[in-house]
Amino acid sequence: MEFRTEHDSMGDVQVPAKAYYGAQTQRAVENFPISGWPLLPELIRALGVVKYAAAVANRDLGKLEKTGKNPLNPKQIEALLAAAKEVAAGKFDQEFPIDVFQTGSGTSSNMNANEVISNRAIEMLGGDRFSEKKPIHPNDHVNMGQSTNDMFPTAIHVAVGMSIRNDMIPALGRLHKSLADKARQWDRVMKIGRTHLADATPLRLGQEFGGFARQIELSIERAERAVAAVCELAAGGTAVGTGINTHPEFGRRVAAEIAKETGIPFVEAANHFEANAQRDGLVECSGQLRAIASTLFNVANNIRWLGSGPRCGFFEVQLPDRQPGSSIMPGKVNPVMCESMMQAMAWVMGNDQTVALSGAAGGQFQLNIMMPVMGHAVLQSIRLMASSARAFVDFCVLEMEANEVACEASVEKSLSMVTSLNPLIGYDKAAALAKEAFKTGKTIRSLCREQQVVSDADLEKALDPWRMTEPQG
């Protein structure tokens, strides 16, 4: 690889010749050969949005045209805005090579964004982006009125809010609709209920899937609350929350511009000392994501159980065959989409533990120093839940079929059918009948007829499975 020499306050640095980033980014690349995981694209693009909003605010406040000895003219300002827009559009994702496990404030990645935007803006005006003299400077102009300490958490909040609103909520919406459709289709399919994995009273397969659909509906509400938890933005607090070196209106204007760009109601933080120092909103957001992950794990696991078989399990729902299930047992097919969802959700729950620990122990005084890993964990969780939900719909739920024969075959055999006789013969007598039925292998219905426990008319009414699936006065 060919290199060029860049210079910063610490001296010379060899930077890849064609890179848009500069010395500070390269130092971080060399300092943090940790995981090989760069920032997720969602966060890189949010940095672009935030830098654009900051430039708009500084332009409208007249700050960029009064930058000490190096003011910008209108064309330079427009180039700065355009370059930030390109980062926000994902055109320079490959120019952000710094590892997630870096400086805890995210300074390295903030400077990465400043350098890329600066050099791209210079290039757009026909200048030499490799020149040591920067007419559009990464610190003086791109980072004007900002500190990593307020802008990097702002970018995390923006990335998280956008990812939940634009990716995860639509995916959950599709999952909810597909489960609700199955609930309607299967409303006439009678089956036995199960509590403690033991036989219980009858219900309809549609009712069971209606319960799953409601779980996802509640998850969407939790996702909306997760967005609300990150709507306050730290921009405007600069280094420690005092707003040193920025305009008093900067934070409000940046938040308003970001809200305009994203369609999400971001606002300036009510208290910049809290917003700079703590990541409690992100912890709250992650907690909501954990609850959603718990739901998705549960729904996938229940469907896995319902599809168990095909001959020695429940097999009340026929799951689509996606791939051979065994390297040794010919013809075996496994519930792979359920298993994929469950593994991904286990990972999400682990991410939440990372976020919770980072929020509790990583913030001292005026700064949390665990921000890159917190942002990565939350954004990764959102991505996993969105992609898992889409795959689960496309490759499992849409192709599921009800096994009506298996569902209905178990109803009459259930000992819990005796429950509906409680009002007629009392709990103790009903319990004795259940035990005798189990011992003899007879059904509740046949045993009641043999012993003439109640009249045939009362027996037929009481043991009507359909009536058992609705409240009776």
- Say how far residue 345 (Cα) sits from the centre of its chain: 10
Instruction: Provide the β-strand partners of residue 3.
Output: 16
Please count the helices (runs of H) and the strands (runs of E) in the chain. 18, 10
**β-pairing, 363-364 with 198-204?**
unpaired
Residue where the block lists tokens 């496990």? 101
Is 275:237 a contact under the CB 8 Å cutoff?
yes
Is 289:378 a contact under the CB 8 Å cutoff?
yes
- Say how far residue 443 (Cα) sits from the centre of its chain: 48
Reported residue count of the chain is: 473
Is 289:255 a contact under the CB 8 Å cutoff?
no
Q: How far apart are CA 24 and CA 31, in angstroms?
A: 11
N-terminal to C-terminal alpha carbon distance within the chain = 81
Q: Which residues of 87-104 are buried (b: 16+ CB within 10 A; e: fewer)?
A: bbeeebeebbbbbbebbb
Is 196 among the residues known to form the active site?
yes
Q: How far apart are CA 146 and CA 151, in angstroms?
A: 6
Residue where the block lists tokens 């259930």? 414
DSSP character at residue 270: S
Residue 187, burial from CB neighbour count under 10 angstroms (0-12, 13-18, 19+): middle
Residue tagged active-site, from 7, 35, 131, 326: 326
Is 326 among the residues known to form the active site?
yes
Residue 32, burial from CB neighbour count under 10 angstroms (0-12, 13-18, 19+): middle
Q: How far apart are CA 203 and CA 221, in angstroms?
A: 27
DSSP character at residue 279: -
Residue 24: which residues within 8 A CB-CB, separation 6 or more? 8, 108, 111, 112, 115
Q: How far apart are CA 320 and CA 340, in angstroms?
A: 14
Residue tagged active-site, from 196, 219, 327, 420: 196
Is 126:117 a contact under the CB 8 Å cutoff?
no
Tell me the CA distances in angstroms from 147 to 63, 102, 469, one per residue in order: 16, 17, 61
Catalytic residue numbers?
196, 326
